[in-house]
Amino acid sequence: MVDLKNMMAELQQKRDEIKLQLKLGSMEAEDEWDSLVSEWDTFLSASQFERPAEEVGEAAREMGLKMKIAYDRAKNAVG
């Protein structure tokens, strides 16, 4: 009976730890996404488009890749 109580207590602790890790992971993903959205807004500023088209295209590809990675992380963090 004592072993069962210990096992139940351990499972409860593990459950609580996993729940906290999921919450922290989703908060981290949200912070990362917010940062990228801010970076995207900066990219869209008029001054960006004074650069040569090739540079803007490369910067757009890099931003798109960063945002896709962040989106995938956020999606995985929430399940």
Average pLDDT, rounded, for the chain: 81
Q: Report pLDDT digits (tens) over 26-46.
A: 788 788 888 888 888 887 776
**Residue 32 neighbours by CB under 8 Å, 6+ apart:** 70, 73, 74
Whole-number CA gyration radius for the chain: 21
**Cα-Cα-Cα-Cα dihedral of 65, 70, 73, 76, to 10°?**
-100
pLDDT at position 62 over 80: yes
47 pLDDT band, cuts 50/70/90, is low
Averaged pLDDT for residues 11-25: 83
Average pLDDT over residues 61-79: 79
**Can you give the pLDDT at residue 59?**
81
Number of H helices, E strands in the chain: 2, 0
